[in-house]
Amino acid sequence: MNVAEAQEKALSEIDRVSSLPELDKVRLNYLGRNGIVNRLLSEIPELPRTEDRKKAGEIINTVKGRIETALAAKDQKLKRESLKEIDRSSFDVTAPGLAPASGSIHPLTAFREFVRDTFTKLGFEEVYAPHLEEDEYNFGLLNIPPDHPSRDLWDTLYLEDGRALRTHTSNMQVREMRNRKPPIRVMTFDRCFRYENIDPHHSHTFTQFEVLYVDKDVSMGQLRFLSDLFLKAVLGEKTRTRFRPKYYPFVEPGVGVDALCPFCEGKGCRICGMGGWFEIAGAGLVHPQVLRNGGIDPKEYSGLAWGFGPDRMLMIKQGINDIRNFYEGDLRFLKQF
Amino acid sequence: MKIPYSWLKEFVNLRKPAEQIAHDLSLAVIGVSGVEKTGGESVLDLDVTYNRGDLLSVVGVARELAALYESPLKGHPERFQPATELAELSVRSEAELSRLYTLTKISNLRYKITPKPIVSRLEMAGMRSVNLWADLTNYVMLEWGQPFHAFDVEKVTRRDPTLTIAVRRAKSGETIKTLDGLDRRLTGEDIVIADKAGPIAIAGVMGGEETEVDEGTTEILLEAAIFDPLSIRRTARRLGLRSEASNRFEHYLSPENLYTSLGKILHLYQVYGKGIPTGFTAIGDKITEPYSVGLTHEKLAQITGEAIPLSRARLYLERLGFKVMASEKGLLCWPPHFRGDIKIPEDAAEEVLRMQGYEKIPVRPIQTVLREAPENRLEEERDRVTRTLADFGFSEVRTYPFASTSTLTHLRKKDLLRLRNPISVEAEYLRPNLLFSLLEAAQKNVSRAPQGRVFELEKAYPRSGELLELGALLWGEKEPFLMLKGVLEELGRQAHLKLGFFQEKNEFLHPIQATEVRIGKERIGILGTVHPHLAEAFSLPEAAVFEIDFEKFSRMGQRWGNFRPISPYPEVLEDYSFVLPQTRSLAELLEKVRSVSPLVREVDLKDRFETQAGERSVTIRVSYQSEEKGLSSKEVEPIRKKIADLIRKNGGTPRE
């Protein structure tokens, strides 16, 4: 092929192509490393006369320039056309996205993070206590001696070696008091166990959250502050709380904390059992004997303990009707969180 | 405790409806689980707690309402004053067994059927009518909280003509036929009432059949006592005989209340049965030793969070029956005899608060010095790992702590912690690991989810001690072992930990695809394909699992890794493809290639497939880079040769 033919052929091929990939092929064919133009250039040294070689080089480079210009023009044209093509195309943007393989975080874990963050802001530190616990820490040091009738409040599961499956997170109280110096601000969110048959509202395995605060002049007023603050964070700004007398051997005074039903705002509905209020937490000022058991002088310091059952609170908050949902691993439940 | 509303009205003027009374009680006194309507009468159901034994009586609740509504208590009978001419009875008792033991002989009884109103009140309170003599004891017990027991004098005399009564410990092995017709075997811990022929009642728990009162009874010995609460509790529990009476004996009872209720019951025996007291003996404390509790202004203010005037506190306490005196520091409070629960200043303060109304407690912010909060790596790692696994498609489960029966068949019971009082066979042993909980969770879902991923971060309870474990299981995916291994490696990488995997045998895992996981030399857990038999037992397709000690993992994990600057010079990439038998370690080979020269920047597994001959074909990509200059092919050449040699020496056969 001579130079003129190459030029003519190239320009007509460029003219004919109708897509960018085709155009690339043409470019490669003529201007690529082993393309026609390079081949023609490589034939130049074979010409006998210097003048001819010089002339041929000029001609071929001119042709190369023309081909490049034509390619660039065509490239622009095709790109413009493809934009118009896009304008004419259709695509259903409402079709669901391609889902990544996503798992789920258990609602109690998500709740735990929320609760922990709320109290961390108040300077509470997360602590842990054994699930398999000495009778002393679970009961005795909390003013609940063996055989004492107040033990009827807890239906306890025992190991053969005499240890208890802790019935509440309060087993952390004396442990933490013995390990720290006031002011003490600790919290725990963990599992507890009771001798209880499983049904939609009861479970032998459940969760508790509890805070312990020991300082100078700790009062029922502060207990009120904590209750309001937390229950508003969980149940919404409209929530109100109230105290009722309640007996726990390790606090005095002891109170039950009720929250105004967030669904009916106290009018009484099916969810709150028509009462308008939910019993949601238990609390009180740490009994002086428990402080002493923890190595703290009740003349100098006082303390408060405040706790609630996250399972029940979540059930109320999310309208979950069966506590077993939390513990039986059904993905149809878990994947909703 | 169930209390008919009309009964309360006998002792205090009440104008509000029963529901309102219940509401007020629950906010200031004691929990009320409901108000029932029975035959036109409202019955309040109270949840009496241990500290308030005084509320196990109509009068006790009436006293609280009287204080709450500032209304006088009425219908209060006189304390029983035994007439001096009453005959002395032969009774023996010890303070250790019974703080106060009284017997009253009532003679001249004429039987009548129990009047309707009494029967109906007993029934509303949840008791049934037996006969007049027994009904009156129950009636006064419900009203005053003091239990009674009546013996038929004639029947006792038949056994022991001397009528010599003793309160004593049972002899081990001694038996008694109780009112319910059963023979009861006693232990040295039990307290009995005995005549010379043997026990006639298990104290505070149940009377003997042989001396039971009936319609023919004309003379009774009426017992009113305060027994040792713990002993009564132990006996009643052991014999499975917890009753209204034994329940009250477990709580605090006062001598004063005993005498007042005795006055009431003797009055009723006279009105309904024509009985007159002819003998009386009392052994023990006849009054409560008065004691006082000091309540200072400062204490009250500290507990409340606000200063309450002492004059107001005094008023509240007096309404509740306390005797109060002003002292230098505050108030001296003598609790009424029926309030055995008031012992310390805090107890008195609680009384003031609840009378004032808990709604009046002010809101007091917690103000305190900020302290350095120690880093909590466990929580940080817990959050991070949970989130990462969820992002990787794992659903978090939280399962029961027990080894269910379907998992027990795979475990050795002697390796497990057993409960002394299991709820059921499904909750008899504690789980030694999370593996089986995960298998069960997978089994529950597999029919709907042929492939799935779950994890749990909770405690397991091997005999050696409770452990916080992280376990993950995936099933129904291709190459589950490598899939899950990749997940665990990534968890490690994010914590800047290099995990080591060493093949080991594990009875629950695949015979070959099973590894121990280590950080450095420390074993942290296992990773492997679930043993095919185990997978089948839980209806699962091929599955893989890992379980690691999460406390170790989080303790060793680092928040920050090492940084290496990015080289300004281009990298040279080269691929090596070769066949490597499954018997040779790819990890070891990669490690060797990595350390062949400082110019080797990274070595990645680029591709891996099984050839038609069933061999493992591998392509690795090596990147060479210098931080000082651009590399020429010539400089890479010697490394290239070393790598090719390494591949051959480690069992690889180059392809192409």
- Cβ separation of A242 and B359 shorter than 8 Å? yes
Give me the pLDDT at residue B521, please. Answer: 95
Share of chain B above pLDDT 70, in %: 100
Q: What average pLDDT does range B182-188 have in this prediction?
A: 95
Quick one: closest CA in B to A252, which residue? B346
* CA distance linking residue B193 with residue B229, whole number of Å: 16
Each residue's pLDDT tens digit, A239-257: 888 999 999 999 999 999 9
Give me the pLDDT at residue A205, please. Answer: 96
* CA distance linking residue B193 with residue A60, whole number of Å: 131
- Structure tokens of A233? 């964070």
Give me the pLDDT at residue A44, please. Answer: 87
- Cβ separation of A219 and B302 shorter than 8 Å? yes
Q: What average pLDDT does range B301-309 have in this prediction?
A: 92
Q: What average pLDDT does range B620-640 have in this prediction?
A: 91
CB-side neighbour CA atoms (13 Å) of B135: 23
Active-site positions of A? Answer: 154, 168, 194, 208, 251, 305
Burial label for B328, CB within 10 Å (0-12, 13-18, 19+), is exposed
Give me the pLDDT at residue B191, please. Answer: 97
Give me the pLDDT at residue A235, please. Answer: 84
Query: Is it the case that residue A153 has pLDDT exceeding 80?
Result: no
**Confidence category of residue B507, pLDDT binned at 50, 70, 90:** very high
Mean per-residue pLDDT of chain B: 94
Give me the pLDDT at residue B492, please. Answer: 96
Query: Is it the case that residue B65 has pLDDT exceeding 90?
Result: yes
Each residue's pLDDT tens digit, A97-142: 888 878 999 999 999 999 999 999 888 999 999 999 999 999 999 9
Strand order, beta sheet including A132-133: A132-133, A164-165, A157-158
Give me the pLDDT at residue B369, please. Answer: 78
Tell me which of B295, B358, B415 to substitute to probe the interface with A (most A C-beta atoms closer than 10 Å).
Answer: B358
Tell me which of A157, A215, A228, A229 to substitute to probe the interface with B (most B C-beta atoms closer than 10 Å).
Answer: A157
Each residue's pLDDT tens digit, B456-487: 999 999 999 999 999 999 999 999 999 999 99
Give me the pLDDT at residue B268, please. Answer: 95
- Cβ separation of A157 and B364 shorter than 8 Å? no
Each residue's pLDDT tens digit, B393-448: 999 999 999 999 999 999 999 999 999 999 999 999 999 999 999 999 999 999 99
Q: Give the three-class secondary structure for A226.
A: helix
Q: What average pLDDT does range B539-567 have in this prediction?
A: 94
Residue B417 CA, distance from chain mean position: 19
Closest Cβ opposite residue A242 in set B234, B302, B358: B358
Contacts of A336 in chain B (CB under 8 A): none
Each residue's pLDDT tens digit, A9-26: 999 999 999 889 999 999
Give me the pLDDT at residue A240, please. Answer: 86
**Confidence category of residue B520, pLDDT binned at 50, 70, 90:** very high
Residue A234 CA, distance from chain mean position: 17
Residues 288-327 of A with CB under 8 A from B: 288, 302, 326-327
How close does chain B come to A237, measured CA to CA in Å?
16
Q: What average pLDDT does range B648-654 have in this prediction?
A: 93
Q: What average pLDDT does range B59-75 have in this prediction?
A: 94
Q: What average pLDDT does range A321-336 have in this prediction?
A: 94
Query: Is it the case that residue A292 has pLDDT exceeding 90?
Result: yes
Provide the ipTM.
0.90
Query: Which of the two residues, A49 and B85, has the higher pLDDT score?
Result: A49
* CA distance linking residue A34 with residue B49, whole number of Å: 98
- Structure tokens of B592? 């060797």
Contacts of B364 in chain A (CB under 8 A): 219, 221-222, 224-225
Query: Which of the two residues, A263 and A283, has the higher pLDDT score?
Result: A283
- A157–chain B Cβ distance below 8 A for any pair: yes
pTM of the model: 0.88
Mean per-residue pLDDT of chain A: 91
Each residue's pLDDT tens digit, B190-200: 999 999 999 99
* Helices marked H in A17-49: 20-31, 36-43
Query: Is it the case that residue B30 has pLDDT exceeding 80?
Result: yes
Query: Is it the case that residue B69 has pLDDT exceeding 90?
Result: yes
- A152–chain B Cβ distance below 8 A for any pair: yes
Contact B29, B22 (CB under 8 A): no
Q: What average pLDDT does range B223-231 have in this prediction?
A: 95
Query: Is it the case that residue B85 has pLDDT exceeding 90?
Result: no
Contact B279, B105 (CB under 8 A): yes
How close does chain B come to A176, measured CA to CA in Å?
15
Query: Is it the case that residue A50 has pLDDT exceeding 90?
Result: no
How close does chain B come to A256, measured CA to CA in Å?
10
CA nearest to A318, candidates A114, A103, A102? A114
CA nearest to B163, candidates B108, B225, B91? B91
Each residue's pLDDT tens digit, B329-367: 899 999 999 999 999 999 999 999 999 999 999 999 988
- Range with the lowest mean pLDDT among A141-150, B48-57, B153-162, B565-574? A141-150
- A215–chain B Cβ distance below 8 A for any pair: yes
Letter for the amino acid at B301? A
Each residue's pLDDT tens digit, B5-14: 999 999 999 9
Contact A63, A15 (CB under 8 A): no
Query: Is it the case that residue A274 has pLDDT exceeding 80?
Result: no
Strand order, beta sheet including B293-296: B293-296, B330-334, B323-326
Give me the pLDDT at residue A306, please. Answer: 96
Give me the pLDDT at residue B511, please. Answer: 95
Query: Is it the case that residue B202 has pLDDT exceeding 80?
Result: yes
Give me the pLDDT at residue A76, please. Answer: 93
Give me the pLDDT at residue B60, please. Answer: 96
* CA distance linking residue B448 with residue B558, whole number of Å: 39
Tell me which of B189, B397, B469, B555 to substitute to probe the interface with A (most A C-beta atoms closer than 10 Å).
Answer: B397
Give me the pLDDT at residue B632, please. Answer: 86
CB pairs under 8 A between A and B: 217
Beta strands in chain A (DSSP E): 125-126, 132-133, 157-158, 164-165, 184-193, 205-215, 241-245, 251-260, 277-286, 302-308
Give me the pLDDT at residue A212, please. Answer: 97
Each residue's pLDDT tens digit, A67-82: 999 999 999 999 998 8
Quick one: closest CA in A to B30, which residue? A245
Give me the pLDDT at residue A316, please. Answer: 86
For chain B, report the end-to-end CA distance as a whole number of angstroms: 90
Give me the pLDDT at residue B206, please. Answer: 95
* CA distance linking residue B432 with residue A64, whole number of Å: 79
